[in-house]
Each structure stands twice: as C-alpha cells, then as structure tokens.
Amino acid sequence: MMQKMMRRFRTFALVLCASLFAALSAAASSAIPARPNPPRLVNDLAGIFTPMQTASLETMLVNFDDSTSNQIAVVTVNDLGGYEVADFAREIGVGWGVGSSDFNNGIVVLVKPKTEGSGGEVTIQVGYGLEGAIPDAECWAIIRDIMIPSFKEGDYFNGVNNACLRLMGLASGEIKASRNGRDPDDVAILTVLAFLFVFFFYLILKYRNKNNSGGSGSSGGNRKVYVGPIFGGGFQDSGSSWGGGFNGGFGGFGGGSFGGGGASGSW
C-alpha cells in the first residue's frame, strides 16, 4: 500500500517536473515574438515609427505582396534576448513563415534601435528563393549605404523605407506571381462546393418532405432554421479568407523558409 502511494507520488513529481521544464523552455524561446494576429508585415515592437509611417510602410509592402507574392516583413525590437541579430531574424522568418512555401520568397528586415545601454543592430535575412536575386553583398550594400547612414541620424523610417524600396526592386525581378492570379482556381472550387452543398440539402429536404408529406408546419419551420446557419457560415468563411486580398489588407504569411542568406550590420 505504502509502496503504491510512493510510486504514485513519484509519477506525480515526474509529471510536475516535466511540465515545469516545458513551461521553462517555452519561456526561453519567447524572446522571438509570436506571429502577429491579425497578420501584419510591419511589426514595430520597438516603437520607432509613427502610426502614419507604419501604415504607409504596411500599405507599400502589402501591395508588393499582392502584385509579386514576395513578402517583406519589417520587425523592430528593443531586445534581442541574447540572440545574434541574424539568428533572431531567421527565427522570425521561419517561425512566422514569411514568404510562400512554394517560392520561399520572404525577406525579414530586423532593426534593433540604438539605445543608451546598447548599440544599434540591423539585419536583412533573405529566403532561399530570393538568394539569387538578392545576394549577401547586395544586402550588405543596402545596410551600409542606405540604412546605417539614416539610422545614425535617428531617422529609422527613411532608412527602412528606402531599404524596402531597393529590396523590392531586386526581388521583383526574380519572382512575379500575382496573388490574384491564383485566386480563380480557389473561387471555382468554392463555387462547386457551394453548389454541391445546395444540391445535397435540396435532396435531403425533398426526401424528408416526401417521407412525411403533409406533415405539420412547425417541423418545416425547424428545417429552415437548421439549414440557414450552415449557408450563413459558408459565406462568412469565404468572406474572411478572400476578403483580405480584395480589401487591400495583408492576406497572411505563407510558410516560407530561410537558409541564412543575407547580411547584418551594427552602428
């Protein structure tokens, strides 16, 4: 009896330790910011842009994503949590899935602004698919000639904005897969599915009506209530996933991967 209790206690302690360990390791990895929800391309966690600047950068990058499918994520943080700046940016790129999984055409621009106690650091990490269009030397040139001079004057927005313009110029030569070009297929599938649904429910209704022909009015009413939300749900779903692209908002990250291409600098 005693032994059994001891054993139980030991299992309990083990489980406790395991969960504690899991919690600790989760806390350790939380230096990397979680993927933004709703998805955004510009994540000014350090607060170095004005809301206007953030919005204009976001619009520019979302338009670029819409027209070429290349995703440039701009992230600013005040603390790298002990990571190398390049590793930090790559973790973001892979963790959020910047770029599409077909092309791996994401770019992460990470800025850690200069503060009183620490130097400024910046990196551009390029997804596998864009390494040819944007070689490391080019990233370094952008950091050295465009970003750091602006950053030194405290002008973070122009540094980042001009760097993005240059990156967009380079990336658009490589991959030009318009987002709208892929949509018709999805829309077609959705339409077919919707028709099938309608047909299916029509059959069910018809069958039921036949079974209890002349049935009470109340049961007919119930059926309508039952069918209604399903259609409502279906249309709502399509609205939320496709509406993003049409309204000019960001459609979300695509699962791109990063292999360490890019460059970093400090000032």
Partner 1 sequence: MKKGLSSTLVIIVILAVCLLWGWSSYNGLVKSDEGVQAAWSQVENVYQRRADLIPNLVATVKGYAEHESSTLEAVTEARTKATGINITADELTEDNIKKFQAAQSELSGALSRLIAVAENYPDLKASENFATLQKQLEGTENRIAVERKNFNETARAYNTKIRQFPTNIVAGLFNFDKKGYFEADEGAEKAPEVKF
**Residue of 136, 150, 177, 223 interacting with partner 1 (CB under 8 A):** 136
Q: What is the identity of the amino acid at 204?
A: I
Q: Give the residue with the Cβ less far from partner 1, 13 or 141.
A: 141
Residue 263 touches partner 1, criterion: CB under 8 A = yes
**Residue of 99, 245, 251, 265 interacting with partner 1 (CB under 8 A):** 265
CA distance 263 to 254: 23
- Judge contact between 58 and 41, C-beta under 8 A: yes
Residue 86 touches partner 1, criterion: CB under 8 A = yes
Is the torsion defined by CA of 206, 210, 211, 213 positive or negative?
A: positive
Residue 102 touches partner 1, criterion: CB under 8 A = no
- Judge contact between 111 and 122, C-beta under 8 A: yes
**Residue of 41, 74, 130, 139 interacting with partner 1 (CB under 8 A):** 139
**Residue of 83, 140, 157, 201 interacting with partner 1 (CB under 8 A):** 140
**Residue of 1, 52, 137, 225 interacting with partner 1 (CB under 8 A):** 137
Q: Give the residue with the Cβ less far from partner 1, 93 or 245.
A: 93
* Minimum distance, C-beta of residue 137 to partner 1, in the bound complex (Å): 5
Q: Which H or E element spans position 10?
A: helix 2-28
DSSP state of 34: P
What is the DSSP annotation of 66-131?
HHH--EEEEEE-S--TT--HHHHHHHHHHHHT-SBTTT--EEEEEEE---SSS--EEEEEEEGGGT
Residue 96 touches partner 1, criterion: CB under 8 A = no
Residue 228 touches partner 1, criterion: CB under 8 A = no
